[in-house]
Amino acid sequence: MTQRRPWSASEDTELRELYSDTPTAEIARQLQRSVSSVYLRAYTFGLRKSQAYLASAAACRLHGVAGVRTRFQKGQTPFNKGLRRPGWAPGRMRETQFQKGMRRGVAVQLYKPIGTERLSKDGYLERKVNDDLPLQARWRAVHLVEWERVNGQIPAGHALVFRNGDKTDIRLDNLELITRAALMKRNSVHN
Protein backbone atom coordinates (compact mmCIF):
# COMPACT_ATOMS: atom_id res chain seq x y z
CA MET A 1 0.00 0.00 0.00
CA THR A 2 1.37 3.41 -0.96
CA GLN A 3 1.72 6.20 1.55
CA ARG A 4 -0.57 9.17 0.95
CA ARG A 5 1.21 12.44 0.35
CA PRO A 6 -0.61 15.63 1.36
CA TRP A 7 -0.97 18.40 -1.20
CA SER A 8 1.29 21.37 -0.61
CA ALA A 9 0.23 25.01 -1.11
CA SER A 10 2.53 25.31 -4.14
CA GLU A 11 0.97 22.19 -5.73
CA ASP A 12 -2.51 23.59 -5.15
CA THR A 13 -1.48 26.87 -6.79
CA GLU A 14 0.03 25.06 -9.78
CA LEU A 15 -3.08 22.90 -10.11
CA ARG A 16 -5.34 25.99 -10.14
CA GLU A 17 -3.19 27.64 -12.83
CA LEU A 18 -2.91 24.62 -15.12
CA TYR A 19 -6.18 22.73 -14.74
CA SER A 20 -8.48 24.69 -17.05
CA ASP A 21 -6.32 24.43 -20.21
CA THR A 22 -3.91 21.49 -19.68
CA PRO A 23 -4.58 17.76 -20.09
CA THR A 24 -5.02 16.14 -16.68
CA ALA A 25 -2.46 13.43 -17.44
CA GLU A 26 0.14 16.14 -18.12
CA ILE A 27 -0.66 17.88 -14.80
CA ALA A 28 -0.39 14.53 -12.99
CA ARG A 29 3.04 13.93 -14.53
CA GLN A 30 4.28 17.40 -13.58
CA LEU A 31 3.06 17.08 -9.99
CA GLN A 32 4.11 13.40 -9.73
CA ARG A 33 0.61 12.33 -8.75
CA SER A 34 -1.98 9.93 -10.13
CA VAL A 35 -4.58 11.18 -12.61
CA SER A 36 -7.39 10.25 -10.21
CA SER A 37 -5.68 12.23 -7.44
CA VAL A 38 -5.56 15.31 -9.68
CA TYR A 39 -9.24 14.91 -10.65
CA LEU A 40 -10.23 14.55 -7.00
CA ARG A 41 -8.26 17.62 -5.92
CA ALA A 42 -9.70 19.66 -8.81
CA TYR A 43 -13.19 18.55 -7.82
CA THR A 44 -12.48 19.63 -4.23
CA PHE A 45 -11.64 23.15 -5.45
CA GLY A 46 -14.51 23.20 -7.96
CA LEU A 47 -12.15 23.54 -10.93
CA ARG A 48 -13.45 22.95 -14.46
CA LYS A 49 -11.89 22.64 -17.90
CA SER A 50 -12.33 25.72 -20.11
CA GLN A 51 -14.63 25.71 -23.13
CA ALA A 52 -11.64 26.33 -25.40
CA TYR A 53 -9.88 23.23 -24.00
CA LEU A 54 -13.02 21.09 -24.31
CA ALA A 55 -13.40 22.14 -27.97
CA SER A 56 -9.75 21.31 -28.75
CA ALA A 57 -8.39 17.97 -29.91
CA ALA A 58 -6.47 17.63 -26.61
CA ALA A 59 -9.76 16.96 -24.82
CA CYS A 60 -10.20 13.81 -26.96
CA ARG A 61 -13.79 14.66 -27.74
CA LEU A 62 -14.52 13.62 -31.29
CA HIS A 63 -17.85 15.48 -31.65
CA GLY A 64 -19.56 12.74 -33.64
CA VAL A 65 -16.81 12.24 -36.21
CA ALA A 66 -15.46 8.98 -34.80
CA GLY A 67 -15.68 6.21 -37.36
CA VAL A 68 -17.33 8.34 -40.06
CA ARG A 69 -15.18 6.75 -42.77
CA THR A 70 -16.24 3.22 -41.74
CA ARG A 71 -19.99 3.79 -41.36
CA PHE A 72 -22.51 2.54 -43.90
CA GLN A 73 -23.35 5.25 -46.40
CA LYS A 74 -26.87 5.72 -47.73
CA GLY A 75 -27.49 3.21 -50.54
CA GLN A 76 -24.42 1.11 -49.69
CA THR A 77 -24.94 -2.66 -49.93
CA PRO A 78 -24.23 -4.62 -46.72
CA PHE A 79 -21.25 -6.98 -46.95
CA ASN A 80 -23.38 -10.04 -46.08
CA LYS A 81 -26.19 -9.43 -48.61
CA GLY A 82 -27.12 -12.65 -50.38
CA LEU A 83 -25.24 -14.90 -47.96
CA ARG A 84 -27.04 -17.89 -46.52
CA ARG A 85 -28.69 -17.33 -43.17
CA PRO A 86 -28.16 -19.52 -40.07
CA GLY A 87 -29.97 -22.82 -40.45
CA TRP A 88 -29.46 -23.00 -44.20
CA ALA A 89 -25.95 -24.41 -44.21
CA PRO A 90 -25.23 -27.70 -45.94
CA GLY A 91 -25.61 -30.87 -43.94
CA ARG A 92 -27.99 -31.62 -41.04
CA MET A 93 -27.75 -28.17 -39.42
CA ARG A 94 -31.37 -27.19 -40.06
CA GLU A 95 -32.90 -30.45 -38.78
CA THR A 96 -30.75 -30.48 -35.63
CA GLN A 97 -31.46 -26.90 -34.54
CA PHE A 98 -33.77 -26.25 -31.59
CA GLN A 99 -37.41 -25.87 -32.52
CA LYS A 100 -40.07 -24.22 -30.42
CA GLY A 101 -41.37 -26.54 -27.69
CA MET A 102 -38.61 -29.09 -28.23
CA ARG A 103 -36.78 -30.57 -25.22
CA ARG A 104 -33.34 -32.14 -25.38
CA GLY A 105 -30.70 -33.41 -23.00
CA VAL A 106 -31.29 -32.78 -19.30
CA ALA A 107 -34.57 -30.96 -20.02
CA VAL A 108 -36.09 -34.29 -21.11
CA GLN A 109 -35.05 -35.94 -17.85
CA LEU A 110 -36.28 -33.06 -15.67
CA TYR A 111 -39.61 -32.53 -17.44
CA LYS A 112 -42.74 -33.09 -15.35
CA PRO A 113 -46.15 -33.45 -17.05
CA ILE A 114 -49.08 -31.16 -16.24
CA GLY A 115 -50.89 -32.40 -13.14
CA THR A 116 -47.71 -33.50 -11.34
CA GLU A 117 -47.66 -32.54 -7.67
CA ARG A 118 -44.67 -31.60 -5.51
CA LEU A 119 -43.97 -30.20 -2.05
CA SER A 120 -42.57 -26.65 -2.09
CA LYS A 121 -39.71 -25.57 0.15
CA ASP A 122 -42.32 -23.75 2.30
CA GLY A 123 -44.27 -26.96 2.83
CA TYR A 124 -47.18 -26.27 0.44
CA LEU A 125 -48.39 -28.93 -1.98
CA GLU A 126 -48.07 -27.56 -5.55
CA ARG A 127 -49.49 -28.80 -8.84
CA LYS A 128 -48.15 -28.14 -12.33
CA VAL A 129 -50.90 -26.31 -14.21
CA ASN A 130 -49.22 -25.47 -17.56
CA ASP A 131 -46.00 -25.56 -19.59
CA ASP A 132 -45.97 -21.85 -20.45
CA LEU A 133 -43.45 -19.21 -19.50
CA PRO A 134 -42.47 -17.79 -17.06
CA LEU A 135 -41.29 -20.93 -15.28
CA GLN A 136 -42.59 -19.88 -11.85
CA ALA A 137 -46.14 -19.58 -13.26
CA ARG A 138 -46.17 -23.28 -14.16
CA TRP A 139 -46.78 -24.39 -10.56
CA ARG A 140 -49.72 -23.37 -8.37
CA ALA A 141 -50.54 -24.22 -4.74
CA VAL A 142 -53.12 -27.04 -4.68
CA HIS A 143 -55.18 -25.42 -1.89
CA LEU A 144 -55.61 -22.31 -4.09
CA VAL A 145 -56.58 -24.39 -7.13
CA GLU A 146 -59.17 -26.37 -5.16
CA TRP A 147 -60.64 -23.27 -3.47
CA GLU A 148 -60.97 -21.44 -6.81
CA ARG A 149 -62.55 -24.50 -8.45
CA VAL A 150 -65.41 -24.39 -5.90
CA ASN A 151 -65.62 -20.73 -4.78
CA GLY A 152 -64.13 -18.74 -7.67
CA GLN A 153 -61.26 -16.26 -7.69
CA ILE A 154 -59.78 -15.18 -4.34
CA PRO A 155 -60.69 -11.47 -3.86
CA ALA A 156 -57.90 -8.87 -3.77
CA GLY A 157 -56.62 -8.18 -0.27
CA HIS A 158 -57.53 -11.65 1.00
CA ALA A 159 -55.55 -14.80 1.78
CA LEU A 160 -56.36 -18.46 2.20
CA VAL A 161 -55.18 -20.06 5.45
CA PHE A 162 -55.36 -23.55 6.97
CA ARG A 163 -57.53 -23.67 10.07
CA ASN A 164 -55.56 -26.49 11.71
CA GLY A 165 -52.17 -25.14 10.53
CA ASP A 166 -51.34 -28.28 8.50
CA LYS A 167 -50.37 -27.13 4.98
CA THR A 168 -50.81 -30.62 3.56
CA ASP A 169 -54.39 -31.03 4.87
CA ILE A 170 -56.21 -29.76 1.78
CA ARG A 171 -59.89 -30.14 2.61
CA LEU A 172 -62.30 -27.32 1.80
CA ASP A 173 -63.60 -27.27 5.41
CA ASN A 174 -59.98 -26.77 6.60
CA LEU A 175 -59.49 -23.68 4.38
CA GLU A 176 -60.47 -20.21 5.58
CA LEU A 177 -60.55 -16.96 3.60
CA ILE A 178 -59.37 -13.98 5.67
CA THR A 179 -58.21 -10.44 4.94
CA ARG A 180 -54.50 -9.65 4.67
CA ALA A 181 -54.87 -7.36 7.72
CA ALA A 182 -56.26 -10.24 9.78
CA LEU A 183 -53.44 -12.47 8.53
CA MET A 184 -50.89 -9.88 9.61
CA LYS A 185 -52.46 -9.70 13.08
CA ARG A 186 -52.39 -13.52 13.32
CA ASN A 187 -48.74 -13.67 12.38
CA SER A 188 -47.71 -10.73 14.55
CA VAL A 189 -44.88 -11.20 17.02
CA HIS A 190 -47.25 -10.14 19.83
CA ASN A 191 -49.63 -13.06 19.30
Q: What is the pLDDT of residue 56?
A: 84
d(CA 85, CA 82): 9
Three-state DSSP class for 176?
strand
Q: What is the pLDDT of residue 174?
A: 94
Instruction: Determine how many CB atoms are found less than 10 A away from the CB of residue 172.
Output: 11
Domain ranges of the chain: 10-59, 110-186
Q: Mean pLDDT in runs of 10 for the chain (191 residues)? A: 83 94 94 94 94 85 74 85 68 72 85 93 94 89 94 94 92 94 89 66
pLDDT in tens, 85-140: 665 666 777 677 777 778 888 988 999 999 999 999 999 999 999 988 888 899 99
Q: Which has the closest alpha carbon to 163: 181, 145, 176?
A: 176
pTM for this structure?
A: 0.49
Q: Tell me if the bond preceding 134 is cis, omega within 30° of 0.
A: yes
Q: Are 119 and 125 in contact (CB under 8 A)?
A: yes
Q: What is the pLDDT of residue 71?
A: 83
For 91-148, the DSSP string reads: SSHHHHS--TT---THHHHH---TT-EEE-TTS-EEEE--SPSSGGGSEEEHHHHHHH
Q: What is the pLDDT of residue 133?
A: 84
Q: Which has the closest alpha carbon to 54: 76, 97, 24?
A: 24
Q: What is the pLDDT of residue 33?
A: 94
Q: What is the pLDDT of residue 9?
A: 94
d(CA 75, CA 47): 47
d(CA 114, CA 71): 52
